[in-house]
Amino acid sequence: MPEMDVALKGTMQIDGAIGAALVDHTSGMALGTAGGSRDLDLTVAAAGNTDVVRAKLRAMEVLNLTEKLEDILITLDTQYHLIRPVSSRSGRGLFLYLVLNKDRANLAMARHQLRAIEQGLDV
């Protein structure tokens, strides 16, 4: 999937990027990854964050929220974890997952760049 590879390479160009994945939130499987480290297993993180996405979607359903979920931010001591559902028809059920070094990242710019990557993604 060249589009996926280009998108993942693009996420790694975001200042502070440590790792990224394109994830199927139905199965929890990472379709592709980029970056990562000895301390960050992206396939394990992808599966774990699938539960986060599912929980948020269930909560929105129970609350009858009809708005589109733009992204989910998890803030740790040294990292930001951004989860952005893919909104295109072909990407339905997928999300982009990006881990950033908190000291090197500009969160607003990272969100803006991740949105542009997601909108250009055709899976």
What is the structure's pLDDT at 93? 87
The Cα–Cα gap between 63 and 65 comes to 5
Half-sphere exposure for 99 (CA within 13 Å, toward CB): 21
Report helix, strand or coil for 70. coil
What is the domain-level CATH number for residue 90? 3.30.450.30
Q: What are phi and psi of 65, to 5 degrees?
A: -85, 125
What is the structure's pLDDT at 121? 85
Contact 60, 69 (CB under 8 A): yes
What is the structure's pLDDT at 1? 52
How many independent structural domains does the chain possess?
A: 1
Range of the domain at 94: 2-120
Residues of the chain with pLDDT under 70: 1-2, 89-91
